[in-house]
Amino acid sequence: MSAAAATSVALPDDTLLTVEHLTMRFGGLVAVEEVTFEAKRRQITGVIGPNGAGKTTLFNCITGFYKPTTGRLSLHRDDGPPLLLEQMDGYLIGQKARVARTFQNIRLFPGMSALENLMVAQHNKLMRASGFTFLGLIGMPGYRRAEAEAKEKAVRWLERLGMVNLADDPAGSLPYGAQRRLEIARAMCTDPVLLCLDEPAAGLNPRESAELNHLLLEIRDQIGIGILLIEHDMSVVMGISDHIVVLDYGRKIADGTPTEIQRDPAVIRAYLGEEEKDDR
Ligand SMILES: Nc1ncnc2c1ncn2[C@@H]1O[C@H](COP(=O)(O)OP(=O)(O)OP(=O)(O)O)[C@@H](O)[C@H]1O
Protein backbone atom coordinates (compact mmCIF):
# COMPACT_ATOMS: atom_id res chain seq x y z
CA MET A 1 0.00 0.00 0.00
CA SER A 2 1.30 3.47 -0.83
CA ALA A 3 1.94 6.02 1.90
CA ALA A 4 -0.65 8.31 0.36
CA ALA A 5 -3.32 5.63 0.44
CA ALA A 6 -2.53 4.84 4.07
CA THR A 7 -2.63 8.42 5.30
CA SER A 8 -5.64 9.33 7.44
CA VAL A 9 -6.88 12.80 8.20
CA ALA A 10 -6.33 13.94 11.79
CA LEU A 11 -8.38 16.74 13.25
CA PRO A 12 -6.44 19.86 14.36
CA ASP A 13 -6.92 19.16 18.06
CA ASP A 14 -6.10 15.51 17.72
CA THR A 15 -2.77 15.66 19.51
CA LEU A 16 -2.55 12.64 21.79
CA LEU A 17 1.04 12.66 23.02
CA THR A 18 3.44 15.58 23.26
CA VAL A 19 7.10 14.79 23.84
CA GLU A 20 9.04 17.91 24.83
CA HIS A 21 12.81 18.18 25.19
CA LEU A 22 13.09 14.57 26.33
CA THR A 23 16.57 13.57 27.47
CA MET A 24 17.66 10.23 28.92
CA ARG A 25 21.20 9.75 30.17
CA PHE A 26 22.84 6.54 31.36
CA GLY A 27 25.89 7.80 33.23
CA GLY A 28 27.95 9.60 30.60
CA LEU A 29 25.96 8.20 27.67
CA VAL A 30 23.13 10.34 26.29
CA ALA A 31 20.73 7.81 24.74
CA VAL A 32 18.00 10.38 23.95
CA GLU A 33 18.79 14.07 23.71
CA GLU A 34 16.31 16.96 23.64
CA VAL A 35 13.76 15.08 21.53
CA THR A 36 10.49 16.91 20.80
CA PHE A 37 7.57 15.67 18.68
CA GLU A 38 3.82 14.99 18.71
CA ALA A 39 1.76 11.87 18.05
CA LYS A 40 -1.89 12.19 17.07
CA ARG A 41 -5.03 10.16 17.55
CA ARG A 42 -6.09 8.15 14.49
CA GLN A 43 -2.54 8.29 13.18
CA ILE A 44 0.41 5.92 13.00
CA THR A 45 3.60 7.69 14.03
CA GLY A 46 6.70 5.79 12.94
CA VAL A 47 9.96 6.12 14.89
CA ILE A 48 12.98 5.08 12.87
CA GLY A 49 16.74 5.39 13.08
CA PRO A 50 19.88 3.27 12.89
CA ASN A 51 20.76 0.75 15.61
CA GLY A 52 21.44 2.46 18.92
CA ALA A 53 19.67 5.68 17.85
CA GLY A 54 17.59 5.73 21.05
CA LYS A 55 14.23 4.42 19.80
CA THR A 56 13.66 1.79 22.49
CA THR A 57 14.90 4.17 25.18
CA LEU A 58 12.32 6.70 23.98
CA PHE A 59 9.62 3.99 24.28
CA ASN A 60 10.89 3.01 27.71
CA CYS A 61 10.49 6.63 28.86
CA ILE A 62 6.98 6.94 27.40
CA THR A 63 5.81 3.65 28.93
CA GLY A 64 7.37 4.23 32.34
CA PHE A 65 10.20 1.68 32.26
CA TYR A 66 12.66 4.56 32.64
CA LYS A 67 12.23 7.91 34.36
CA PRO A 68 13.52 10.48 31.86
CA THR A 69 16.46 12.57 33.02
CA THR A 70 14.67 15.72 31.83
CA GLY A 71 11.74 16.62 29.61
CA ARG A 72 7.98 16.39 29.57
CA LEU A 73 5.65 13.68 28.25
CA SER A 74 2.02 14.85 28.10
CA LEU A 75 -0.79 12.42 27.30
CA HIS A 76 -3.80 14.52 26.25
CA ARG A 77 -7.30 13.43 27.23
CA ASP A 78 -10.78 14.53 26.19
CA ASP A 79 -11.97 14.71 29.79
CA GLY A 80 -9.35 16.52 31.80
CA PRO A 81 -5.91 18.06 31.89
CA PRO A 82 -3.01 16.17 30.27
CA LEU A 83 -1.39 13.37 32.25
CA LEU A 84 2.33 13.95 32.74
CA LEU A 85 3.75 10.50 32.09
CA GLU A 86 7.25 11.33 33.33
CA GLN A 87 5.74 11.84 36.80
CA MET A 88 3.66 8.64 36.85
CA ASP A 89 4.54 5.13 38.02
CA GLY A 90 4.81 2.60 35.18
CA TYR A 91 1.72 0.61 36.16
CA LEU A 92 -0.39 3.80 36.19
CA ILE A 93 0.82 4.68 32.70
CA GLY A 94 -0.85 1.43 31.62
CA GLN A 95 -3.93 1.63 33.82
CA LYS A 96 -4.74 5.32 34.04
CA ALA A 97 -3.11 6.89 30.99
CA ARG A 98 -3.99 3.75 28.98
CA VAL A 99 -0.71 3.47 27.14
CA ALA A 100 0.01 -0.13 26.05
CA ARG A 101 3.12 -1.59 24.49
CA THR A 102 4.67 -4.65 22.92
CA PHE A 103 8.36 -5.55 23.02
CA GLN A 104 11.04 -6.45 20.46
CA ASN A 105 10.92 -10.04 21.71
CA ILE A 106 7.55 -11.78 21.95
CA ARG A 107 6.27 -11.89 25.52
CA LEU A 108 3.13 -13.99 25.28
CA PHE A 109 2.49 -16.71 27.86
CA PRO A 110 3.56 -19.59 25.58
CA GLY A 111 1.87 -22.39 27.55
CA MET A 112 -1.48 -20.62 27.74
CA SER A 113 -3.94 -20.76 24.87
CA ALA A 114 -4.43 -17.85 22.48
CA LEU A 115 -7.80 -17.14 24.14
CA GLU A 116 -6.30 -17.28 27.65
CA ASN A 117 -3.61 -14.78 26.67
CA LEU A 118 -6.32 -12.32 25.65
CA MET A 119 -8.29 -13.00 28.86
CA VAL A 120 -5.24 -12.47 31.10
CA ALA A 121 -4.76 -9.04 29.53
CA GLN A 122 -8.10 -8.07 31.06
CA HIS A 123 -7.17 -9.26 34.55
CA ASN A 124 -7.18 -5.77 36.11
CA LYS A 125 -10.69 -5.05 34.93
CA LEU A 126 -11.91 -8.44 36.19
CA MET A 127 -10.31 -7.91 39.60
CA ARG A 128 -12.02 -4.53 39.88
CA ALA A 129 -15.34 -6.22 39.06
CA SER A 130 -14.71 -8.75 41.85
CA GLY A 131 -14.28 -5.93 44.38
CA PHE A 132 -10.88 -7.57 45.04
CA THR A 133 -12.54 -10.23 47.25
CA PHE A 134 -12.77 -14.01 46.98
CA LEU A 135 -16.55 -13.89 47.40
CA GLY A 136 -16.65 -11.34 44.64
CA LEU A 137 -14.78 -13.73 42.37
CA ILE A 138 -17.11 -16.66 42.99
CA GLY A 139 -20.46 -15.01 43.55
CA MET A 140 -21.00 -11.48 42.38
CA PRO A 141 -23.12 -11.06 39.25
CA GLY A 142 -20.96 -8.02 38.39
CA TYR A 143 -17.91 -10.26 38.15
CA ARG A 144 -19.71 -12.88 36.06
CA ARG A 145 -20.88 -10.17 33.68
CA ALA A 146 -17.36 -8.70 33.44
CA GLU A 147 -15.94 -12.17 32.79
CA ALA A 148 -18.45 -12.80 29.99
CA GLU A 149 -17.59 -9.40 28.45
CA ALA A 150 -13.87 -10.16 28.69
CA LYS A 151 -14.37 -13.45 26.90
CA GLU A 152 -16.51 -11.79 24.24
CA LYS A 153 -13.83 -9.18 23.64
CA ALA A 154 -11.13 -11.86 23.41
CA VAL A 155 -13.19 -13.81 20.87
CA ARG A 156 -13.86 -10.63 18.84
CA TRP A 157 -10.11 -10.06 18.62
CA LEU A 158 -9.49 -13.66 17.58
CA GLU A 159 -12.11 -13.18 14.86
CA ARG A 160 -10.44 -9.98 13.72
CA LEU A 161 -7.13 -11.85 13.50
CA GLY A 162 -8.78 -14.76 11.68
CA MET A 163 -7.62 -17.03 14.50
CA VAL A 164 -10.82 -18.34 16.09
CA ASN A 165 -9.90 -21.87 15.01
CA LEU A 166 -6.62 -21.47 16.94
CA ALA A 167 -8.28 -20.17 20.15
CA ASP A 168 -7.37 -23.23 22.21
CA ASP A 169 -3.86 -23.73 20.80
CA PRO A 170 -0.94 -22.85 23.07
CA ALA A 171 0.28 -19.39 22.06
CA GLY A 172 3.84 -20.71 21.86
CA SER A 173 2.87 -23.21 19.14
CA LEU A 174 1.36 -20.60 16.79
CA PRO A 175 3.20 -19.47 13.66
CA TYR A 176 5.51 -16.53 14.38
CA GLY A 177 3.39 -13.96 12.52
CA ALA A 178 0.27 -15.09 14.39
CA GLN A 179 2.10 -14.71 17.71
CA ARG A 180 3.06 -11.15 16.79
CA ARG A 181 -0.52 -10.26 15.91
CA LEU A 182 -1.84 -12.00 19.02
CA GLU A 183 0.50 -9.87 21.11
CA ILE A 184 -0.92 -6.72 19.54
CA ALA A 185 -4.46 -7.99 20.18
CA ARG A 186 -3.50 -8.68 23.79
CA ALA A 187 -2.33 -5.08 24.17
CA MET A 188 -5.57 -3.90 22.54
CA CYS A 189 -7.64 -5.88 25.06
CA THR A 190 -6.52 -3.36 27.70
CA ASP A 191 -8.40 -0.61 25.77
CA PRO A 192 -5.40 1.67 25.21
CA VAL A 193 -5.59 5.17 23.74
CA LEU A 194 -1.94 4.90 22.66
CA LEU A 195 -0.36 1.67 21.43
CA CYS A 196 3.46 1.53 21.35
CA LEU A 197 4.87 -1.24 19.16
CA ASP A 198 8.58 -2.03 19.27
CA GLU A 199 9.59 -3.71 15.99
CA PRO A 200 6.39 -5.71 15.44
CA ALA A 201 7.55 -6.82 11.96
CA ALA A 202 10.87 -8.29 13.17
CA GLY A 203 11.25 -11.81 11.82
CA LEU A 204 8.08 -11.74 9.71
CA ASN A 205 7.98 -12.94 6.10
CA PRO A 206 6.43 -10.64 3.45
CA ARG A 207 2.96 -12.20 3.76
CA GLU A 208 3.02 -11.86 7.54
CA SER A 209 4.25 -8.25 7.23
CA ALA A 210 1.31 -7.49 4.93
CA GLU A 211 -1.09 -9.03 7.49
CA LEU A 212 0.49 -6.89 10.20
CA ASN A 213 0.08 -3.73 8.09
CA HIS A 214 -3.56 -4.60 7.54
CA LEU A 215 -4.14 -5.11 11.27
CA LEU A 216 -2.47 -1.81 12.25
CA LEU A 217 -4.41 0.17 9.64
CA GLU A 218 -7.62 -1.45 10.87
CA ILE A 219 -6.81 -0.49 14.47
CA ARG A 220 -6.09 3.08 13.37
CA ASP A 221 -9.16 3.47 11.21
CA GLN A 222 -11.78 1.43 13.06
CA ILE A 223 -10.76 1.95 16.68
CA GLY A 224 -9.25 5.39 16.20
CA ILE A 225 -6.39 5.24 18.71
CA GLY A 226 -2.86 6.55 18.17
CA ILE A 227 -0.07 4.11 17.32
CA LEU A 228 3.65 4.70 17.89
CA LEU A 229 5.67 2.31 15.81
CA ILE A 230 9.38 1.54 16.01
CA GLU A 231 10.27 -0.42 12.93
CA HIS A 232 13.31 -1.29 10.83
CA ASP A 233 11.23 -2.82 8.03
CA MET A 234 10.84 0.09 5.62
CA SER A 235 7.99 -1.58 3.69
CA VAL A 236 5.99 -1.48 6.91
CA VAL A 237 7.00 1.92 8.27
CA MET A 238 6.83 3.81 4.96
CA GLY A 239 3.70 1.95 3.90
CA ILE A 240 1.49 2.64 6.90
CA SER A 241 2.90 5.60 8.87
CA ASP A 242 1.11 8.94 8.62
CA HIS A 243 4.06 10.68 10.16
CA ILE A 244 7.64 9.64 10.89
CA VAL A 245 10.19 10.81 13.45
CA VAL A 246 13.82 9.99 12.74
CA LEU A 247 16.41 9.64 15.48
CA ASP A 248 20.17 9.40 15.09
CA TYR A 249 22.60 9.24 18.00
CA GLY A 250 19.72 10.12 20.34
CA ARG A 251 18.75 13.31 18.54
CA LYS A 252 15.78 13.96 16.27
CA ILE A 253 17.12 14.65 12.78
CA ALA A 254 13.83 14.74 10.86
CA ASP A 255 10.08 14.73 11.38
CA GLY A 256 7.51 14.58 8.54
CA THR A 257 5.42 12.49 6.16
CA PRO A 258 6.92 9.31 4.68
CA THR A 259 7.51 11.16 1.40
CA GLU A 260 9.30 14.04 3.15
CA ILE A 261 11.39 11.60 5.18
CA GLN A 262 12.43 9.58 2.13
CA ARG A 263 13.70 12.78 0.48
CA ASP A 264 15.40 14.26 3.54
CA PRO A 265 19.17 14.42 2.95
CA ALA A 266 19.99 14.01 6.66
CA VAL A 267 17.90 10.85 6.79
CA ILE A 268 19.39 9.47 3.60
CA ARG A 269 22.84 10.07 5.05
CA ALA A 270 22.13 8.68 8.50
CA TYR A 271 19.79 5.85 7.81
CA LEU A 272 18.39 5.17 4.38
CA GLY A 273 21.88 5.61 2.95
CA GLU A 274 23.02 2.73 5.14
CA GLU A 275 20.14 0.63 3.85
CA GLU A 276 21.13 1.34 0.25
CA LYS A 277 24.69 0.27 1.00
CA ASP A 278 23.45 -2.92 2.65
CA ASP A 279 21.32 -3.79 -0.38
CA ARG A 280 24.20 -3.81 -2.84
N1 LIG B 1 19.73 0.56 30.39
C2 LIG B 1 20.74 1.08 29.69
N3 LIG B 1 21.92 1.36 30.28
C4 LIG B 1 22.94 1.90 29.56
N5 LIG B 1 22.88 2.19 28.25
C6 LIG B 1 21.73 1.93 27.62
C7 LIG B 1 20.60 1.36 28.29
N8 LIG B 1 19.59 1.22 27.39
C9 LIG B 1 20.06 1.67 26.22
N10 LIG B 1 21.34 2.09 26.36
C11 LIG B 1 22.17 2.68 25.31
O12 LIG B 1 21.44 3.76 24.76
C13 LIG B 1 21.67 3.84 23.34
C14 LIG B 1 20.36 3.77 22.63
O15 LIG B 1 19.87 2.44 22.74
P16 LIG B 1 18.41 2.01 22.25
O17 LIG B 1 18.23 0.57 22.59
O18 LIG B 1 17.42 2.96 22.76
O19 LIG B 1 18.56 2.19 20.68
P20 LIG B 1 17.61 1.68 19.51
O21 LIG B 1 17.49 2.80 18.54
O22 LIG B 1 16.37 1.12 20.07
O23 LIG B 1 18.49 0.53 18.87
P24 LIG B 1 18.04 -0.82 18.09
O25 LIG B 1 17.46 -0.37 16.78
O26 LIG B 1 19.32 -1.54 17.91
O27 LIG B 1 17.06 -1.55 18.96
C28 LIG B 1 22.63 2.70 22.99
O29 LIG B 1 23.93 3.23 22.98
C30 LIG B 1 22.44 1.74 24.13
O31 LIG B 1 23.61 0.97 24.35
Provide mean pLDDT across the span 147-155: 87
Q: CATH number for the domain including 186?
A: 3.40.50.300
What number does the ligand 1 atom closest to the CA of 250 have?
14
Q: Which range (13-17, 80-84, 104-108) has the least confidence?
A: 104-108
- Same-domain pairing of 79 and 131: no
Q: Report the percent of the chain where pLDDT is more than 90.
A: 64
- Same-domain pairing of 172 and 196: no
What number does the ligand 1 atom closest to the CA of 66 have?
1
Cβ count within 10 A of residue 151 = 14
Supply the pLDDT for residue 106. Answer: 73
Distance 32 CA to ligand 1 centre (A): 9
| b (16+ CB within 10 A) / e for 16-28 | bbebeebbbeeee
- Same-domain pairing of 117 and 136: yes
Q: Choose between 109 and 273: higher pLDDT.
A: 109
Domain carrying residue 183: 106-191
- Same-domain pairing of 245 and 159: no
Q: Choose between 10 and 183: higher pLDDT.
A: 183
pLDDT at 127 over 80: no
Choose the final residue of a domain: 191, 207, 242: 191
Phi and psi at 120, nearest 5°, equal -60, -35
Indicate the angle between helix axes 176-188 and 141-160, nearest 10 degrees.
Answer: 140
Provide mean pLDDT across the span 259-279: 74
Distance 151 CA to ligand 1 centre (A): 38
Residue 39, classed as helix, strand or coil, is strand
pLDDT tier, 163 (very low <50, low <70, confident <90, very high otherwise): confident
Supply the pLDDT for residue 125. Answer: 67
Residue closest by Cα to atom 26 of ligand 1: 51
* Residues at CB less than 6 angstroms from ligand 1: 26, 29, 31, 49, 51-57
CA angle 108, 6, 258 (to 5 degrees): 95
Provide mean pLDDT across the span 104-133: 77
